[in-house]
A and B are shown apart, each in its own frame.
Chain A
Amino acid sequence: MSHFRDFRAIAAPIEGVNVDTDQIIPARFLKFDRASGYGRFLFHDLRFEMEGRERPEFILNRDPFRAARILVADENFGCGSSREGAVYALGDYGIRVVIAPRFGDIFYNNCLRNGVLPALISVVDAAALRKILHAASDPSLTVDLPSQTIRYGDGEPIAFSLDAFWRDCLLEGVDEIGLALRQMPQIEAFEQALAARRPWTASACQRRLTGEPGLGTVE
């Protein structure tokens, strides 16, 4: 995924602590198939009035931020609901990188699973970046994953943290489900040991759950 090497794009500052995933995508849109595109749902109720008109004050409705591919947010971005639709919406809108001092844990993992880079920087650096972006004539940032740095213009690079495992997965496009499937011999051995240690949790003991055909039957 080459877009994480020296990736330069417009970055929008998102103000406010605890921006929850209900803000990123309201629950009523989660019933739709991903194939129909989730980009229009991103920050829906902040972006649009109830009757559908754009809210001019919202950052992504203003040029040049409308074309943002990077977000710079505040504390605890993506807290709340586990809905991966929040990351579908970011990704389908075109957001490749979210920079913040802290992320909701589930949202963070969902980003990693969808090729969206969650870059952790300090509260002070995040606030400084947002301030710069609000005032800049060209609010672009350069994000470089191999060196784990963020730069504005010719400024000093800001280091962001990310576990090496996830950095490599993003850079190489590793599929984590495939990676888990390749551990199957170890998983199977583990299961057998588990059945010996805690027989009441072994698969054989759970089959009464599925022992009957159809739905809704009671054993």
Chain B
Amino acid sequence: MHAEQAAADSPRTLFDKVWQQHEILRWPQGPSLLYVDRDFVHEGAFHAFGDLKRRGLQVRCPERVVGFADHYVPTKARDIAGAATPAIAKVLQQFSDNARWSGIRAFDIGDERQGIVHVAAPELGLTQPGMVITCNDSHTSTHGALGAIAFGIGQSETTQVLATQTVWLKRPSLMRINVTGSRASGVSAKDVMLAILAQVGSAGAVGHAIEYAGSVVAAMSIEERLTLCNMSIELGGRCGMVAPDDTTFAYLFGRPFAPDGQYWDAAVAYWRTLGSDPDAVFDKEIQIDGSAIAPMVTWGTSPDAALPIDARVPDPERLSGAERATAHAALEYMGLQPNTPLTDIAIDRVFIGSCTNSRIEDLRAAAAVAAGRKAVVPAIVVPGSESVRRAAEAEGLDQVFLAAGFEWRHAGCSMCVAMNGDVVAPGERCASTSNRNFMGRQGPNARTHLMSPAMAAAAAVTGRLSDVRRLPTRKRA
């Protein structure tokens, strides 16, 4: 009791506070057994459901597991018959069947609130501060934007969560990334994240839970924080979090699965205690000058290969060792010459969507640039959820995009991961608001440049990587 009291009195981080509320036991020289408040599954979890059935197990707490069809769903049709191939249709059918078999709630294709799990779950109020959340998807880090410990797990771990509502996890080290100052106009949350990646690197946060803090983060909307936390995995982080505050509570209030009247006040009172104590200690602290961040794009095949739009393609010869070899390989794959101004790079295609950037604020930012202009390359807009799609249509954003020659699709992961038939053709160069520019990510031999929604819209109307600050947004009638 005394030790517990002392632990409670010493300064603790946001991560510590949530972790301690979920640690069932700690194995000597090993992981902790962590309680999972909520597990999300997408269609890819058919491996885990198969494993569960082979073991003769069931989903232990169906009320704590929620399914979303997102990776394999067609974005031009709203039923399984519209799947790109019979093999994809089979995966979608298995998802429906497994949801029915296990008794979990599934926001399946055709549901008016279906969407990408990392867009739809926060929007439904399923993601809440202080929770431990898992999902068979690395971008589960997204949900930390509301003050949850949320992390991606594999199929075997998903089997365990489904069967026991627990997961084995070694407590990560803690990193705080402080983004100070204030963002210049034309600089989005995506730009902030790409700037962090450029500084910290793709392996910089391996083994760490990240807390994002500082004036720039405090001033962000929840949607912007979701974008930030989404790409924690691109830093190698186990999860990313932002302390819950009034912005968080205002976002959650009244959402369908947020705590209701009976519990709302108690929940908020608890959530207010979660922020890191002033003297809490982190294993690593990173400082980023938020005022110095410019619109960013990636040039290589790792998300940390990011530069301000007014920079030039790096020269690998100026790097050393493994970095030089990696940069050479990246430029060869990307078909780029060293020292080329980034704004000279012509593109073939634009994708606006993904769990990083497909929320209503993202679509507004893209539409503001597209308004009154014409796309000169094929461009698709894929809302993150059907709710986002309806909200955008209510504001007339669909008409802005259609008038500008963009395609307006239904919700899903689509061209970010290219599993549903929406692919970038071999050799094509895509300006994308997604999170990964890995080789082959958007299709075999596809070339990806990551950027914000406004920058992607600017690329669509100019046909090249462009500085959105040089394209004044026009007021819509």
B417 close to chain A: CB less than 8 A: yes
8 more CB-based (< 8 A) A-B contacts, given A17-B322, A84-B156, A201-B130? A22-B440, A76-B202, A79-B203, A84-B155, A176-B168, A180-B163, A181-B164, A197-B21
**Could you tell me if B418 and A28 are in contact, using CB atoms closer than 8 angstroms?**
yes
Please, which residues of chain A bring their CB within 8 A of the CB of B441? Answer: 22, 27
28 contacts between A and B (CB under 8 A): A17-B202, A17-B322, A18-B202, A23-B439, A50-B444, A79-B202, A79-B206, A81-B138, A82-B154, A105-B172, A105-B207, A105-B238, A110-B155, A113-B154, A127-B322, A164-B30, A166-B30, A176-B160, A176-B168, A181-B163, A187-B165, A198-B21, A203-B64, A208-B257, A210-B63, A215-B106, A215-B108, A216-B107
**Could you tell me if B138 and A180 are in contact, using CB atoms closer than 8 angstroms?**
no
The tally of CB-CB contacts under 8 A between chains A and B is 218
Fill in one digit per residue for A135-165: 1 if any B CB lies within 8 Å of its CB, else 0: 0000000000000000000000000000111
- How far does the alpha carbon of A113 sit from the alpha carbon of B55 in the complex, in Å? 15
**Could you tell me if A74 and B322 are in contact, using CB atoms closer than 8 angstroms?**
yes
Shortest distance between the CB of B375 and any CB in chain A (Å): 27
Please, which residues of chain B bring their CB within 8 A of the CB of A180? Answer: 33, 160, 163-164, 166, 168
- How many residues of chain B have a CB within 8 Å of chain A? 94
**Could you tell me if A198 and B270 are in contact, using CB atoms closer than 8 angstroms?**
yes
**Could you tell me if B108 and A216 are in contact, using CB atoms closer than 8 angstroms?**
yes
B66 close to chain A: CB less than 8 A: yes
- Contacts of A161-210 to chain B: CB distance below 8 A: 163-166, 176-177, 180-181, 183-184, 186-187, 190-191, 194, 197-201, 203, 205-210
Fill in one digit per residue for A3-37: 1 if any B CB lies within 8 Å of its CB, else 0: 00000000000011110101100111011111000
In the complex formed, the residue of B with least CB distance to A26 is B440
A45: which of B35, B47, B418, B444 is its contact (CB, 8 Å)? B444
A113: which of B99, B156, B259, B266 is its contact (CB, 8 Å)? B156
B428 close to chain A: CB less than 8 A: no
- How far does the alpha carbon of A105 sit from the alpha carbon of B91 in the complex, in Å? 27
**Could you tell me if B203 and A83 are in contact, using CB atoms closer than 8 angstroms?**
no
**Could you tell me if B154 and A190 are in contact, using CB atoms closer than 8 angstroms?**
no
Contact (A205, B444) CB under 8 Å given A163-B170, A210-B62, A215-B99: no
B325: which of A15, A76, A216 is its contact (CB, 8 Å)? A15
Please, which residues of chain B bring their CB within 8 A of the CB of A199? Answer: 263, 266
A102 close to chain B: CB less than 8 A: yes
Fill in one digit per residue for A34-54: 1 if any B CB lies within 8 Å of its CB, else 0: 100000000001000010000
Shortest distance between the CB of A61 and any CB in chain B (Å): 17
Fill in one digit per residue for A81-105: 1 if any B CB lies within 8 Å of its CB, else 0: 1111101000000000000001111
Please, which residues of chain B bring their CB within 8 A of the CB of A26? Answer: 440, 444
A80 close to chain B: CB less than 8 A: yes
Please, which residues of chain B bring their CB within 8 A of the CB of A218? Answer: 112-113
**Could you tell me if B24 and A186 are in contact, using CB atoms closer than 8 angstroms?**
yes
A31: which of B29, B87, B140, B202 is its contact (CB, 8 Å)? B87
**Could you tell me if A210 and B104 are in contact, using CB atoms closer than 8 angstroms?**
yes
A215: which of B37, B100, B131 is its contact (CB, 8 Å)? B100
Contact (A16, B322) CB under 8 Å given A82-B136, A180-B168: yes
Shortest distance between the CB of B144 and any CB in chain A (Å): 14
Interface of B toward A, CB cutoff 8 Å: 21, 24-25, 27-31, 33, 35, 37, 44, 47, 50, 55, 61-64, 66, 72, 87-88, 90-91, 96, 99-100, 103-108, 110-114, 128, 130-131, 136-138, 140, 151-157, 159-160, 163-166, 168, 170, 172, 202-203, 206-207, 233-234, 236, 238, 256-257, 259, 263, 266-267, 270, 302, 322-323, 325-326, 329, 417-419, 426, 436, 438-441, 444-445
- How far does the alpha carbon of A192 sit from the alpha carbon of B111 in the complex, in Å? 33
Please, which residues of chain B bring their CB within 8 A of the CB of A103? Answer: 206
B55: which of A30, A33, A177 is its contact (CB, 8 Å)? A177
In the complex formed, the residue of B with least CB distance to A204 is B63
A109: which of B153, B164, B325, B444 is its contact (CB, 8 Å)? B153
- How far does the alpha carbon of A76 sit from the alpha carbon of B211 in the complex, in Å? 21
Please, which residues of chain B bring their CB within 8 A of the CB of A27? Answer: 417-419, 441
In the complex formed, the residue of B with least CB distance to A77 is B203
**Could you tell me if B233 and A80 are in contact, using CB atoms closer than 8 angstroms?**
yes
- How far does the alpha carbon of A17 sit from the alpha carbon of B62 in the complex, in Å? 40
**Could you tell me if B267 and A200 are in contact, using CB atoms closer than 8 angstroms?**
yes
Q: Which of B61, B108, B138, B263 gathers most chain A CB within 10 Å?
A: B138
In the complex formed, the residue of A with least CB distance to B168 is A176
Shortest distance between the CB of A51 and any CB in chain B (Å): 11
Shortest distance between the CB of A183 and any CB in chain B (Å): 6
Shortest distance between the CB of A187 and any CB in chain B (Å): 6
**Could you tell me if A165 and B28 are in contact, using CB atoms closer than 8 angstroms?**
yes
A122 close to chain B: CB less than 8 A: no
Contact (A215, B165) CB under 8 Å given A45-B440, A79-B202: no
- How far does the alpha carbon of A46 sit from the alpha carbon of B426 in the complex, in Å? 14
Please, which residues of chain A bring their CB within 8 A of the CB of B436? Answer: 20, 22, 80-81
**Could you tell me if B44 and A165 are in contact, using CB atoms closer than 8 angstroms?**
no
Please, which residues of chain A bring their CB within 8 A of the CB of B130? Answer: 198, 201
In the complex formed, the residue of B with least CB distance to A106 is B152
Please, which residues of chain B bring their CB within 8 A of the CB of A194? Answer: 21, 35
**Could you tell me if B329 and A16 are in contact, using CB atoms closer than 8 angstroms?**
yes
Please, which residues of chain A bring their CB within 8 A of the CB of B152? Answer: 82, 106
**Could you tell me if B438 and A23 are in contact, using CB atoms closer than 8 angstroms?**
yes
What are the 5 tightest A-B residue pairs by CB atom distance, in nearest-first order? Answer: A165-B30, A113-B156, A200-B263, A76-B203, A200-B259
- How far does the alpha carbon of A165 sit from the alpha carbon of B168 in the complex, in Å? 11
**Could you tell me if A186 and B47 are in contact, using CB atoms closer than 8 angstroms?**
no
**Could you tell me if A30 and B419 are in contact, using CB atoms closer than 8 angstroms?**
yes
- How far does the alpha carbon of A185 sit from the alpha carbon of B207 in the complex, in Å? 30
Please, which residues of chain A bring their CB within 8 A of the CB of B238? Answer: 105
In the complex formed, the residue of A with least CB distance to B111 is A216
- How far does the alpha carbon of A214 sit from the alpha carbon of B35 in the complex, in Å? 27
- How far does the alpha carbon of A183 sit from the alpha carbon of B164 in the complex, in Å? 9
